[in-house]
Amino acid sequence: MISSTPFCSIIIPALNEEKDIAACLTSLSKQTYPRDCYEIIIVDNGSTDLTKAIASKYADHVLEKANCNVGAVRNYGVEKSTGEILICTDADCTFPPAWIETGVNLLSKNKDTVFGGGLRSSSDRNWIDKYWLLNSGGETVQQNDLMGSCIFIERSTFLKSGRFPEEVTSGEDSDISERLRKIGIRIKMESALSVNHEGNPKTVTDFLGRQAWHAENYFKKPTKHIKDYIFIATTIYSITITASLLTAFFGNLHSSLALLSASQAIALAHSTKRIVRSGKLSNFKYIIPILSLDNLYFTGRTIGSIYGITKTAPTRKK
């Protein structure tokens, strides 16, 4: 069992985060948990802006681990940390004042359990924030797997899990979630641990880019993703959209519309799933903008999966 006031290590990867990192670290410095009972570790992934200079004003340690994927960055931070409790988050997040205290209390009362939280809208949220998160106040958590923006885990449990995978460009949090379950560790998502995500995409281009980045690993290890609902849905969506465009080009409008309808059925299913998980069925009145965003979601995932097939150099993120 963990001690009553365990020492915690907060591991934060960063890559060109000069816009958000001061707010992130200020938020962490104003926690209700005793400040001498946690360390803040920034692991810079090769920033070319003022990230490291800003971080050095607030963090206990500013380390560097450049030219590698985010899993390797997180692992390096863990290697250099001393905490009994490891807390993972991102440099574009801010936190409720009792965030650390709440997470530690949950761990202390629940053996063999790892806790995570969801995302709240950023302070300057726009329509993408609104219709993607569907949960601006963080009252519910829609994800079943851990997200790198909020993980509370005992060091011993983390080491048993085999650490974050370092070969993938993204999805290291989903991977560790799967491995934790395999060794009998429960994963619980708590709305009280949800963080404000200031780095949410604010433009269509940024949203497409974020989804493309998440999908780069799909076809590198297809057997790993073959049972993943999003992988299957993205594959079907990309096939039906492509076939719809081709049949329209060759003048078969009837077949083109049928294929287009199939792609929209995929997007609509995803929209419905997100609305139901949000716990706010009233969101169905916004189905048009939500559906539009889910079409962009699958478009970005399609672009990323195609790019991932041809890409050989590692992608850095955070």
| DSSP secondary structure of 256-308 | HHHHHHHHHHHHHHHHHHHHHHHT-GGGGGGHHHHHHHHHHHHHHHHHHHHHH
Query: 243 with 286, same domain?
Result: yes
pLDDT of residue 280: 83
Q: Is residue 154 part of a domain?
A: yes
The answer to whether residues 61 and 89 touch, using CB atoms and an 8 Å cutoff, is: no
Q: In this structure, what CATH number is given to the domain that contains residue 126? A: 3.90.550.10
H/E run at residue 40 = strand 38-44
- DSSP for 79-116 reads HT---SEEEE--TTEE--TTHHHHHHHHHHHSTTEEEE
Q: Model confidence at 307, in pLDDT bands (50, 70, 90)?
A: confident
pLDDT of residue 119: 87
Query: 77 with 133, same domain?
Result: yes
Which of 201, 230, 258 marks a domain boundary? Answer: 201
Query: 214 with 196, same domain?
Result: no
Query: 156 with 245, same domain?
Result: no
- For residue 144, the tally of other CB atoms under 10 A from its CB is 11
Q: Model confidence at 1, in pLDDT bands (50, 70, 90)?
A: low
Query: 177 with 261, same domain?
Result: no
95 pLDDT above the threshold of 80: yes
- 226 against 175, higher pLDDT: 175
Query: 45 with 194, same domain?
Result: yes
253 pLDDT above the threshold of 60: yes
pLDDT of residue 224: 63
Q: Model confidence at 214, in pLDDT bands (50, 70, 90)?
A: confident
Mean pLDDT (whole number) for 29-51 = 97
Query: 63 with 168, same domain?
Result: yes
**What average pLDDT is seen over the chain?**
90
312 pLDDT above the threshold of 60: no
- Prediction pTM value: 0.84
Nearest-angstrom CA–CA distance, 104 and 8? 9
Q: Is residue 69 part of a domain?
A: yes
311 pLDDT above the threshold of 70: no
Query: 194 with 267, same domain?
Result: no
- For residue 73, the tally of other CB atoms under 10 A from its CB is 28
Instruction: Find the angle CA(167)-CA(168)-CA(173) to the nearest 5 degrees.
Output: 115
Q: Is residue 315 part of a domain?
A: no
Query: 36 with 168, same domain?
Result: yes
Which of 137, 166, 201 marks a domain boundary? Answer: 201
Q: How many domains does the chain have?
A: 2
Q: Helical H runs in the chain?
A: 21-29, 51-55, 70-79, 99-109, 127-133, 155-161, 172-182, 204-214, 222-225, 229-249, 253-278, 287-310
Report percent pLDDT > 90 for the chain: 70
Specify the 3-state DSSP secondary structure of 196: strand
Nearest-angstrom CA–CA distance, 191 and 117? 6
Nearest-angstrom CA–CA distance, 176 and 166? 11
Q: Nearest-CA neighbor of 164 among 152, 149, 150, 148?
A: 148
Q: Is residue 1 part of a domain?
A: no
Q: Model confidence at 89, in pLDDT bands (50, 70, 90)?
A: very high
Query: 104 with 29, same domain?
Result: yes
Mean pLDDT (whole number) for 288-312 = 89
- For residue 61, the tally of other CB atoms under 10 A from its CB is 15
b/e per residue 251-289 (b: at least 16 CB within 10 A): eeeeebeebbebbbebbbebbeebbeebeeeebeebeee
125 pLDDT above the threshold of 90: no
140 pLDDT above the threshold of 70: no
Q: Is residue 169 part of a domain?
A: yes
Q: How far apart are the first and last CA of the chain?
A: 33
Query: 22 with 117, same domain?
Result: yes
Q: Is residue 243 part of a domain?
A: yes
Q: Model confidence at 120, in pLDDT bands (50, 70, 90)?
A: confident
Query: 152 with 295, same domain?
Result: no
Q: Model confidence at 313, in pLDDT bands (50, 70, 90)?
A: very low
Q: Is residue 287 part of a domain?
A: yes
Mean pLDDT (whole number) for 89-115 = 96
Q: Is residue 87 part of a domain?
A: yes
Range with the poorest average pLDDT among 40-49, 195-204, 222-231: 222-231
Q: Nearest-CA neighbor of 9 among 37, 43, 33?
A: 37
The range of the structural domain enclosing residue 133 comes to 8-201
Which of 166, 201, 236 marks a domain boundary? Answer: 201
